[in-house]
Amino acid sequence: MNTKTPFPYQQQPSEDWPSPDALKYIEEKEIGRGGWGRVYQVFNPMTGESYAAKRSLILNVTGYREGVTGYREGVVPPAEIAYLEADNLRLGEHQLQLKHMELFRLGAVIREREALKLLNGDPHVIGYRGQRFYVADGKLFSEIAIEYFKSENSADMLSGGIDVADVGRIIADSATALKHCALEGIIHRDVKPENILYQKKDVPGHGTAKVIDFGIAQRRKGVIFQEGFPTEWSRLVKDLDRPKETIIGTLMYLSPEQVRVEQLTPAINIFQLGLVAYELLTGKGAFSGSNDAERVIADVQWYNQNALQQLLNTVRNRGFSDENLLNALYRALEPTPQRRQLEPLKTEAENLAQGKRASIVIQCAAAPAEHTPSLLPGRASEAPEVSHFDVV
């Protein structure tokens, strides 16, 4: 029985596109790319709507190491693809034993699809339109269609200068989205400026922000998947939550509990949004003082009240001396997950957006020198010996 609290923006999830005929569209242009795929602006003449199509490479099919040949090119019908036990993927008549990164990529597109379906209708989460798998040039791809949202990401805006009112709107809208995530038991794990889109308006603070990229999101322990979620895909996502020796996230936006490989909760979302707020207000990242990955991991692992006070002092030095704003940042960036609070940050961000704080244009600070000291001194040798994925 599903007993979750409904969110006021929640709507029925869009149906996955049911057939190849419904997937015919006109490709217009590439609008982004990452480590595993690319994003295209496309137009569907059947609906008259433009989408953003996020294409991700899963694996090579032709000449596969177990001898898969001859699988036809084109859209893979839902009945012909399934995740099986022992890390096998069924594709038509074939069973493919997946390598680690193939498994991770497959899990990422399933995580994103299911998270977006659960959050569909929230005005501050990118809208979901559908998903398909297809084979092209001997490779298996996933394609997730999302709303086309003409915007910039927050990181690009910071590099060109951003009004503090727009900073407020970005943080307030993102806080609304992350509150919805918490109600659904979704832990984003990769909240950062690049994953927050912002559509500016002529009047600063009047734009709209949307959170994107749920490829490494996970569900809070004990929260079931929505009704109708296929059992085999559910098992895949749960399997990928098992490893205890791996840090998953983006290096400069990790929370202490991610680095310590502890049980994760939606409090991670709050901490990461606090890091985003800090960066947009000061023009530099909280953990960007070192270019050494082990040093950064050690800084985050040993993050404490003294480090938090250093961050708040930097915010003060940038001209933000309002105690309510500083207290809101303090609540979001608490080292202890159970003490973090999202609502004060959202309230103060709204005040910034509405012009209740001094008008300041913030620009990205100069890149740190190679040997600039990091936030916390000298603990690099005690960093955990773990693998790390810098997710893009």
Distances (CA, A) of 185 to 165, 269, 343, 384: 30, 11, 17, 27
Same domain, 178 and 94: no
Q: How many CB atoms lie within 10 A of CB 200?
A: 17
Q: What is the pLDDT of residue 16?
A: 46
Same domain, 164 and 256: yes
Same domain, 131 and 34: yes
For the stretch 111-115, contacts whose Cβ atoms lie closer than 8 Å and that sit 24 or more positions apart, written own/partner, are 111/214, 111/215, 111/216, 111/217, 111/218, 111/237, 111/240, 112/54, 112/144, 112/213, 112/214, 112/215, 112/217, 113/144, 114/225, 114/226, 114/229, 114/233, 114/237, 115/186, 115/214, 115/217
Per the structure block, which two tokens stand in for 20?
């190849």
- Within-domain flag for 83: yes
Give pLDDT tens digits for 127-139. Answer: 998 888 988 888 8
Do you know the residue count of the chain?
392
Distances (CA, A) of 193 to 1, 283, 351: 37, 12, 20
Q: How far apart are CA 135 and CA 237, in angstroms?
A: 22
Q: How far apart are CA 204 and CA 279, in angstroms?
A: 18
What average pLDDT does the segment 26-53 reach? Answer: 82
Among 96, 115, 147, residue at a domain's last position: 147
Give the H/E segment covering residue 343.
helix 343-353
- Within-domain flag for 7: no
Instruction: Give the residue among 292, 279, 303 at the shortest CA–CA distance from 365.
Output: 279
Give pLDDT tens digits for 156-180. Answer: 888 778 899 999 999 999 999 999 9
Helix axes 323-332, 267-282, angle to 10 degrees: 140
Per the structure block, which two tokens stand in for 268?
């991670």
Q: Which residues pair with 81 in a beta bridge?
A: 91
Could you list the beta-strand ranges (E) of the chain: 26-33, 37-44, 49-60, 74-76, 81-84, 88-91, 94-97, 128-136, 139-147, 152-153, 162-163, 186-187, 196-199, 208-211, 218-219, 246-249, 361-362, 387-390
Distances (CA, A) of 287 to 266, 277, 319, 392: 21, 13, 20, 18
Give pLDDT tens digits for 50-99. Answer: 889 999 999 888 656 545 555 677 888 888 888 877 788 888 888 888 88
Q: What is the pLDDT of residue 114?
A: 87
Domain housing 244: 152-390
Q: How many CB atoms lie within 10 A of CB 378?
A: 11
Q: What is the pLDDT of residue 7?
A: 38
DSSP state of 4: P
Among 129, 147, 165, residue at a domain's last position: 147
40 or 344, which is more confident = 344
Q: What is the pLDDT of residue 22?
A: 45
Are 196 and 170 spatial neighbours (Cβ–Cβ below 8 Å)?
yes
Are 241 and 104 spatial neighbours (Cβ–Cβ below 8 Å)?
no
Same domain, 193 and 325: yes
Same domain, 212 and 266: yes
- Within-domain flag for 3: no
pLDDT band at 248 (very low <50, low <70, confident <90, very high): confident
Are 192 and 198 spatial neighbours (Cβ–Cβ below 8 Å)?
no
Same domain, 363 and 255: yes
Looking at residue 98, which CATH number applies to its domain?
3.30.200.20
pLDDT score of 15 more than 50: no
Give the H/E segment covering residue 267.
helix 267-282
Same domain, 188 and 333: yes
- Within-domain flag for 47: yes
pLDDT score of 223 more than 60: no
Give the H/E segment covering residue 181.
helix 164-183
What average pLDDT does the segment 45-52 reach? Answer: 83
Beta strand 387-390 with 246-249 is parallel
- Within-domain flag for 40: yes
Range with the poorest average pLDDT among 23-27, 209-213, 231-235, 323-327:
231-235
pLDDT score of 380 more than 80: no
What average pLDDT does the segment 231-255 reach? Answer: 70
Sequence-distant (≥ 6) Cβ neighbours of residue 35 within 8 angstroms: 391, 392
Same domain, 95 and 172: no
pLDDT score of 234 more than 70: no
Same domain, 45 and 60: yes
How many separate domains does the chain show? 2
Same domain, 221 and 306: yes
119 or 387, which is more confident = 119
Q: What is the pLDDT of residue 75?
A: 83
Q: State whether residue 299 is helix, strand or coil.
A: helix
Range with the poorest average pLDDT among 74-88, 113-127, 217-231, 315-329:
217-231
pLDDT band at 197 (very low <50, low <70, confident <90, very high): very high
Helix axes 267-282, 343-353, angle to 10 degrees: 30
Per the structure block, which two tokens stand in for 42?
């496309």
- Within-domain flag for 6: no
Q: How far apart are CA 145 and CA 388, in angstroms?
A: 28
Give pLDDT tens digits for 103-118. Answer: 888 888 988 998 999 9
pLDDT score of 354 more than 50: yes
| Angle value at C-alpha 137, between 107 and 128, nearest 5 degrees | 40
Q: What is the pLDDT of residue 280?
A: 94
Same domain, 87 and 199: no
- Within-domain flag for 169: yes
Q: What is the pLDDT of residue 70?
A: 59
Q: What is the pLDDT of residue 119?
A: 93
pTM (2 decimals)? 0.84
pLDDT score of 217 more than 50: yes
Same domain, 253 and 342: yes
pLDDT score of 338 more than 80: yes
Looking at residue 173, which CATH number applies to its domain?
1.10.510.10
Question: 223: number of CA atoms within 13 Å, CB side?
Answer: 20
Provide the mean pLDDT of the chain: 79
Q: How far apart are CA 185 and CA 234, in angstroms?
A: 15
297 or 71, which is more confident = 297
Among 96, 129, 147, residue at a domain's last position: 147
- Within-domain flag for 166: yes
pLDDT band at 21 (very low <50, low <70, confident <90, very high): very low
